[in-house]
Amino acid sequence: MTVLANPVLSTVTSDLIRLVGVTKSYGSINVLKPVDLDIKDGEFLTILGPSGSGKTTILRMIGGFTAPTSGQILLRGTDIVSLPIFKRPFNTVFQDYALFPHMTVASNVGYGLRIRRMPADQIKAKVRAVLETVNLADKADRYPAALSGGQRQRVALARAIVCEPQVVLLDEPLAALDAELRRSMQEFLKDLQRRIRTTFVFITHDQEEAISMSDRIAVMDHGNLVQVGTPKEIYYRPKSEFVAKFFGENNLLPTITDSQGGASMIESPLGRHVSPGPKGKGFQLAIRPESFSLHDGSECKPDQQVTTAKLEGVTFLGPTTQLSLSLGAAAAHRIKVRIPTALWTNNLGVGAEVSLRWSESDISFVPRES
C-alpha cells in the first residue's frame, strides 16, 4: 500500500477531475451557477466559501450524492455524472465521522474491505498498515465512544483511505473540533496527504485553514466560482472585492482614473499608480495591513513609496501591533497597518503623524462592485 511509503511531497501532475459547466438548481432556485474547475492528480484542493456559497454542493456532485442539473464531471476524461456512488473511486469523510458505534476501530476501518469481499488476512494487514499511518495502531480494539474527537476523526480518515481511492473528499471534517485540536489535525491532514500521495478535495469556510493546508484554493460566492489559485496568489492578488474582503483582511481604498495626456493612471489616497485596465473602468486599491512598514528616513527602493498618515489607535496583538490610521487631508480614509511589535517603540499618541513605506508590488486593483 502507498500508505507505507516514506513521507514525500505530493507530486501534482495532470488533471484528474474536470467540472465543465456544472450547475445545480432546485426548481427555480439556482444554487450553483456554471462552474468550470480542474482538480489535479495528487493535489490538496480546498473549496472555500461562506455558508450557502455552493461548496458542499460541488463536493456532493463529485462524490455522486447529488446529480448536477447540467454539465459534465470528467474523471480522466470520462464523464461520470451517471456513475453510481459505489462505482466511483472516491471516499468521503463527513463532519460527523459516521463511525459504527458497535464496531471496534479495526472493524470500522476494515468495513469497506469486507464489503469488497477481500480475504480476511489481507484485510487485517491493510487495516494494521493504515492504523499505523494515522498513529492509531494501539487503538485497534477500542470502540469509538472510548476515543477523543481527534482520534475519531483519524479513524474516519483511515476508513476513507484504506481502500486506496483516487480521491478523498472531506466535507468540513474539522468543524466540530476545538481550536487547538483543529490546528493539530490540520497539520496531520496535510502531512497524511503528502505521504499517501492521494488527491484531497477539502471543504471549509475557514480562511486560515485553507491557507495552511492547500496547494490551491477555489473560492465560492453565492454559487459562483470567483477565483482559483495558490494561497499566495489569492491572498496577495485578489481578483474581486469579495475575495479581498473574505480571504483575510485587506485595506480597500477608492480610486479615480486619470486619463490626462493620453496615459491612463489611477489616483488613490496612497498616490498615483499605473492603471490595471481600460480607461474609465472603476477599481478599488487593495493592500494588506502587513504590506506597510515604518519609514525610518532611509533611502527607498525604486518601487517603494512613502505615505504619511494620522494615528487613530494602537492595538497590541502579541507578536504584532495593529495601527489604525487615517489618510488624506480630511482623514476620510481609514487603513489598518500591522507591524512587528518589537518595531513599535516610539509610543506615539493618538493624532500623531506616522510615516509609512510600501511597495507598488504589494497593491492589487479589484473591480468596484455596485
Cα atoms in the 13 Å half-sphere on the side-chain side of 244: 23
The pLDDT value given to residue 296:
84
pLDDT of residue 203: 96
- The per-residue pLDDT for 266 is 86
- Are 22 and 73 in contact, with CB atoms under 8 Å apart? yes
Q: What angle do CA 37, 17, 112 make, to 5 degrees?
A: 130
Q: Across-strand partners of 182?
A: none
Predicted confidence at residue 106, as pLDDT, reads: 95
Q: How far is CA 251 from CA 269, 273, 313, 325, in A?
A: 11, 16, 16, 11
Structure confidence at residue 177 (pLDDT): 81
Q: Which cell is 104 given?
A: 471496534
User: At 214, which amino acid appears?
Assistant: S
Q: Where are the alpha helices (DSSP H) in the chain?
A: 55-63, 105-115, 120-133, 149-161, 179-196, 207-213, 231-236, 241-246
Chain segment 35-44, per-residue pLDDT in tens: 999 999 999 9
Q: What is the pLDDT of residue 279?
A: 61
For the chain, report the end-to-end CA distance as a whole number of angstroms.
53
Cα–Cα distance, 2 to 199 (Å, whole number): 13
Distance set, CA 9 to CA 143, 215, 319 (Å): 33, 11, 30
Question: What pLDDT is recorded for position 225?
Answer: 97
Sheet of 15-26, strands arranged across: 29-40, 15-26, 70-75, 78-79
2-241 matches 251-367 in fold: no
Q: Round the CA-based radius of gyration of the chain to a whole number and report it.
A: 25
Every domain of the chain and the residues it spans = 2-241, 251-367
What is the CATH architecture of 251-367? Beta Barrel (2.40)
Polymer length of the chain: 370
- For residue 14, the model assigns a pLDDT of 80
Give the pLDDT confidence score for residue 185 in this predicted structure. Answer: 86
Arch. (CATH architecture) of 2-241 = 3-Layer(aba) Sandwich (3.40)
3-state secondary structure 244-306: HHHCCCCEEEECEEECHHHCCEEEECCEEEECCCCCCCCEEEEECHHHCEECCCCCCCCCEEE
Which residues in the chain show pLDDT less than 50?
1-12
- The 10 Å CB-count burial string (b at 16+, else e) for 114-129 is eeeebeeeebeebbeb
Could you tell me how far CA 190 lies from the centroid of its own chain?
13
Q: How far apart are CA 93 and CA 173, in angstroms?
A: 7
The whole-model pTM stands at 0.87
Q: What is the pLDDT of residue 281?
A: 66
pLDDT score recorded for residue 1: 35
